[in-house]
Amino acid sequence: ARVEKMFSVGGMHCASCSSRIEKVLSQLDGVDSAQVNLATEELRLSFDPQQVGVDEVVERVAGLGFSLQEQS
Ligand code: 9UX
């Protein structure tokens, strides 16, 4: 089943930052779409939690130098 979650993104300073995050996440198996809004510092992620976990997503983005926090 597909789910959609919103995350707060820390550490972005330009549009290339948001593009990098979108590119890396969209290449992960199980991710349907990753849309980053630079202005609001938010990520909207649509994914299949049976194929990819939030922990893996957070780790990948941390590897790029950005932090993610799942919104409630
Ligand atoms: Mo822009 Mo982001 O020069 O890591 S790519 S600040």
Chain segment 28-49, per-residue pLDDT in tens: 999 999 999 999 999 999 999 9
Strand partners, 31: 47
26 confidence band (pLDDT: 50, 70, 90): very high
Q: Is residue 38 within 6 Å of ligand 1 at its C-beta? A: no
- Say if CB 12 and CB 39 are below 8 A apart: no
Q: Is the pLDDT confidence value at 72 over 90?
A: no
Is the interface score ipTM higher than 0.90?
no
Helix, strand, coil share of the chain (percent; to 5): 30, 35, 35
Q: How far is the CA of 36 from the centre of ligand 1 (A)?
A: 14
Q: Counting atoms of ligand 1 from 1, which one is nearest the CA of 65?
A: 4
Q: What pTM was computed for the model?
A: 0.94
Architecture, CATH, for domain 3-65: 2-Layer Sandwich (3.30)
pLDDT given at position 53? 97
Q: Cα–Cα distance between 33 and 49 in angstroms, integer? A: 13
